[in-house]
Amino acid sequence: MTALVLRGVRPYGEGDPVDVRIEDGLVAAIEPGLDAGDAEVVEAHGQVLLPGFVDLHTHLREPGREDTETIATGSAAAALGGYTAVFAMANTDPVADNAVVVEHVWRRGREVGLVDVHPVGAVTVGLRGEKLAELGTMAAAGVRVFSDDGHCVHDPLLMRRALEYSTALDAVVAQHAEEPRLTVGAQAHEGERAARLGLAGWPAVAEESIVARDCLLARQTGARLHVCHVSTAGTAEILRWAKGQGIEVSAEVTPHHLLLDDDRLAGYDPVNKVNPPLRTAADTKVLRDALAEGVVDCVATDHAPHAAQDKDCEWSAARPGMLGLQTALPVVVATMVEPGLLDWRGVARVLSERPAEIAGLPGHGRPIAVGEPATLTLVDPAARWTVRGAELASIAANTPYEGMELPGRVVTTLLRGRITAHEGMVRERE
Ligand SMILES: NC(=O)N[C@@H](CC(=O)O)C(=O)O
Ligand SMILES: [Zn+2]
Ligand SMILES: [Zn+2]
Question: How far is ligand 2, taken at its centre, from the CA of residue 150, in Å?
Answer: 4
pTM: 0.98
pLDDT band at 104 (very low <50, low <70, confident <90, very high): very high
Residues 36-48: pLDDT tens digits? 999 999 999 999 9
Question: What are the φ/ψ torsions at residue 318 (nearest 5 degrees)?
Answer: -70, 150
Question: How far is ligand 3, taken at its centre, from the CA of residue 16, in Å?
Answer: 40
Residues 254-304: pLDDT tens digits? 999 999 999 999 999 999 999 999 999 999 999 999 999 999 999 999 999
Residues 221 and 128 occupy one common structural domain: yes
Residue 250 belongs to some domain of the structure: yes
Q: Which ligand 1 atom minimizes the distance to the CA of 89?
A: 11
The question of whether 297 is a catalytic residue gets the answer no
pLDDT for the residue numbered 1: 74
Of the residues 116, 214, 261, 302, which is catalytic?
A: 302
Whole-angstrom Cα Rg for the chain: 21
The percent of residues above 70 in pLDDT, for the chain, comes to 100
321 lines ligand 1 (CB under 6 A): yes
ipTM attached to this prediction: 0.99
pLDDT for the residue numbered 428: 87
- Known binding-site residue numbers for Zn(2+): 57, 59, 149, 176, 229, 302
pLDDT for the residue numbered 361: 97
Residue 365 belongs to some domain of the structure: no
Residues 9 and 128 occupy one common structural domain: no
pLDDT at 2 over 90: no
pLDDT at 429 over 90: no
Mutation pick for ligand 1 pocket among 178, 228, 302 (CB with most ligand atoms within 8 Å)? 302
Residues 9 and 103 occupy one common structural domain: no
Question: In the predicted model, what is the mean pLDDT of residues 221-237?
Answer: 99
Q: Which ligand 1 atom minimizes the distance to the CA of 305?
A: 12
Question: In the predicted model, what is the mean pLDDT of residues 67-72?
Answer: 98
pLDDT band at 79 (very low <50, low <70, confident <90, very high): very high
Residues 44 and 55 occupy one common structural domain: no
Residues 270 and 411 occupy one common structural domain: no
Question: In the predicted model, what is the mean pLDDT of residues 376-403?
Answer: 98
Residues 118 and 202 occupy one common structural domain: yes
Q: How many domains does the chain have?
A: 2
pLDDT at 76 over 90: yes
Residues 20 and 117 occupy one common structural domain: no
pLDDT at 132 over 80: yes
